[in-house]
Amino acid sequence: MIKYLITGGAGFIGSALARNLSEKKESKILVLDKLTYAGHKSSLELDKRDNIIFEKIDIVDLQKVENITEDYQPDIIFHLAAESHVDRSIDNPQEFINTNVLGTFNMLCSAKKYLLKNNKSLKFLHISTDEVFGALGSEGLFCEDTPYDPRSPYSASKASSDHLCRAWFHTYQFPVIITNCGNNYGEYQSPEKLIPKTIINCIKKNQIPIYGAGKNIRDWIHVNDHVNALIQISQCGEIGESYNIGSNNEITNNEIVNTICSIANELLDSNFDYTSLIKYVSDRPGHDFRYAMDTRKINREIGWKSNIDFKIGIRKTFQWYIDNNNWIDSCLKKANVLDRQGKI
């Protein structure tokens, strides 16, 4: 029996990881989540899975984190709990410092205390972002040794948490592995993010906002590819190392939105011009131009590569949102996730 602990496990990536791990024999998963606007217990599909345990907890509470780590005694910790929307970090950076920096500090302290007390083996995977590296021009890729250059309160908070993890490894020989991934998409993603927001606005025939000129470029990866990488890294990744995860799938925001509008014509209303809903709005302050990941290390050392073609993945994602209107409505009731954030 392998016992997994997932922080932020009711969020988009965390819940996908929990669902994937639950399919494996001899696995037990403890999910910790604060259930903010981006966390949804229903995303875990608990009615279908008897090996997932859920606990509502804020990792800023060190005593609770220590108690639950000691009681559960995990073999592998996947640390995903984080405030993750750049726009919200511009409006309220304090929440990002609390969860992403102090919360990570608490997870490291509690796991270190657990190790010293019990003398057991443990792996701690810290899941981070490509945004810590800053911005690229029209050429080049982020690799694992690219110097950090965070440009937003969100990316600065994640860079801080990455540095804490490295410090725990070098100072205490703490068994941590860091991963940095590009932009994810797929089912159960909060409607505030570009792809689900555009899909939902197509479904409702609402205005589709695009920041600036829509030329910003991201490396898009399906969430199931991402979690498969995380699982493989947990099995054979080297302690103290970091791994970039990406799909080598660079797409502009304009291309993303136009692709979704085209799919809307196929799946919703073939006679409606969904591109007529597009409206260019003022850009996000400090909006990084381009991210792209060099994945040669994970390809070579872990034997992982992405498998889900974007055109297939985005169409299946669109269909999922059509089929899960109740989940969308629950998100929209929880917070104003479709409203503009990060506008100074």
Q: Which residues are catalytic?
A: 130-131, 154
Question: What are the DSSP calls for 101-142, one per residue?
Answer: IIHHHHHHHHHHHHHHHH----EEEEEEEGGGG--B-SS--B
Residues in the chain: 344
* 98 backbone dihedrals φ, ψ, rounded to 5°: -60, -55
CB contact burial 240-277 (16+ within 10 A = b; e otherwise) = ebbbbbbbebbbbbbebbbbbbebbeebeeeeeebeeb
Of 191, 188, 187, 213, the closest CA to residue 201 belongs to 191
* 311 backbone dihedrals φ, ψ, rounded to 5°: -60, -40
In 3-state terms, what secondary structure has residue 204? Answer: helix
Which distant-in-sequence residues (6+ apart) come within 8 Å of 200 by Cβ? 191, 206, 321, 328, 338
Report the amino acid identity of residue 137: G
CA distance 314 to 7: 27
What percent of the chain is helix, strand and coil (3-state, nearest 5)? Answer: 45, 20, 35
CA distance 313 to 295: 20
Paired sense of beta strands 208-211 and 76-79, if any:
unpaired
